[in-house]
Amino acid sequence: MKKTATVLAMFLAILILFSPSAKADEVKNFIKLTEPKDNYMTSADKVLISGETVPNSKVIVLINGRKEEKELSVGAAGIFVTQAPISSKENIITVKASFPSGEDETVSRKVYQLESGSELPELGSLIQTLKSFLILK
């Protein structure tokens, strides 16, 4: 009988230790922006914005300091996805998360919009390097 009580007490202690409510206090406020990457280059007029944050947070997207029309609600998974229009050659995408704790955090990325048909600067540099390498051989 004592063995059963001891095992039951240990089981309850482990259950309490690893319960979701015990872990809820350990959650730190964070925002992780997966798209777009910093210094992203595109010829499109929209950019995908996605990331992860604390569940039940509110997310606001700013393009060059201008708020987009909607606030994103983040569900229990903490994931958010949206598209935003870009219109200038250099765009600053800012994502601000307001956490249930009342705190907020901001992450920014630069996105460059290329004119249709223009070459990516890295590609032009690579082509020049290959041309000079082939000429030297």
What confidence score (pLDDT) does residue 50 get? 92
For the record, the structure tokens of 66 come out as 């201008």
Provide the residue type at 40 as one letter: Y
Report phi then psi at 25, rounded to 5: -70, -20
What confidence score (pLDDT) does residue 123 get? 61
Give the domain ranges of the chain: 28-117
What confidence score (pLDDT) does residue 18 get? 63
What confidence score (pLDDT) does residue 24 get? 46
For the record, the structure tokens of 94 come out as 């800012």
| CATH code of domain 28-117 | 2.60.40.10
pLDDT in tens, the chain (137 residues): 666 767 666 665 676 666 554 444 455 778 999 999 999 999 999 999 999 999 989 999 999 988 876 788 788 889 999 998 998 789 999 999 998 888 999 999 999 998 765 555 556 666 666 666 666 54
What confidence score (pLDDT) does residue 117 get? 55
Which residues are paired to 51 by β-bridges? 33, 80
What confidence score (pLDDT) does residue 96 get? 93
- pTM greater than 0.85 (yes/no): no
Which residues are paired to 98 by β-bridges? 58, 104
